Amino acid sequence: MRETFAFILCYCNPTNVPSLCDKFKVEMSLGFILNHTEESAFNFSLHKINSTLKQRGLFCSSFHLPVPTGDAFEAPLYNKLEEQEDSKRRIASLNKQQLHAFNEITGAIYNRNDKSRYFYLDGPGGCGKTYLYSTLLSFVRGKGHVCLAFATTGIAVTLLKGGRTVHSGFKLSVPVLETSVSSMIPASADAQQLREAKLIIIDEITMLTRDGLRCIDILLKEIMNNAKPFGGKVIVIRGDLTDTSSSPKRNCR
């Protein structure tokens, strides 16, 4: 919504911008409000809005909006030692199937000769998929590398440390149509974070339409300048196929 608001300022010439901003202040602070005060969350939102405006030669001050203070919110910094200890503890408690998946995925990350770089985890709720995700996140971050986690629902995001929604993280439109493309700018900080990611996890993939997955594929190919699926990134996606068993046929895609 922050990016949409910035686009409205750039191209729609709204009247009384401060009032419009105040009206949707809470909605634009979503994603920050859980871990910050209301004031800090709004300040981070202004940083994001200002960043989008700057790419078009504008600033918050150009529209009489408050000027964001302090440093912009970036991806959280993780303590390598804490992540290493957490991953060791988790790895030791993985069951046979989880450990096999863990070894296959980490092998793809750190062995460039490994041909398999795309993984799909399937299974009913409660079988340990989220625990495996958390283990992978801690393991990769413990090495000082970027590991990004996304989910199609806000509830699923809360189970992934440092997670974001798919629509926010990949800048997808709502709804995603057959003609939709990601609005992410290749020169942006978000795009750079995707470039640096050793592993990308997408949870609840069965809740995403094929057009959403297509947009992600095209985006990663573009920012990685790589024609391979998902730009050659190591991708782990998860979905419970039983979630779609009761879906009407004409709504399936």
Output b/e per residue, 100-123; b: 16+ Cβ within 10 A.
Answer: ebbeebbebbeeeeeeebebebee
Long-range contact pairs involving 29-38 (C-beta distance under 8 Å, separation at least 24): 30/1, 31/164, 31/168, 32/73
Asked if 16 and 102 sit in the same domain, the reply is: no
Average pLDDT, the chain: 86
Has residue 79 got a pLDDT over 50? yes
What's the pLDDT score for residue 76? 60
Interval 205-227 mean pLDDT: 94
Domain assignment present for residue 33? The answer is yes
Residues 134 and 197 occupy one common structural domain: yes
1, part of any domain: yes
Is 227 exposed, middle or buried, given 0-12, 13-18 or 19+ CB atoms closer than 10 A?
exposed
pLDDT at 48 over 90: no
Query: Do 43 and 151 have their domain in common?
Result: no
Look at residue 168 and tell me whether its pLDDT is greater than 80.
yes
Contact status, residue 160 vs residue 203, Cβ threshold 8 Å: yes
Both 57 and 123 in one domain: the answer is no
Pairing of strands 118-122, 197-203: unpaired
- How many domains does the chain divide into? 2
Q: Are residues 45 and 100 both part of a single domain? A: no
- Cβ atoms of residues 5 and 49 within 8 Å: yes
Q: What percent of the chain has pLDDT over 70?
A: 88
DSSP state of 208: S
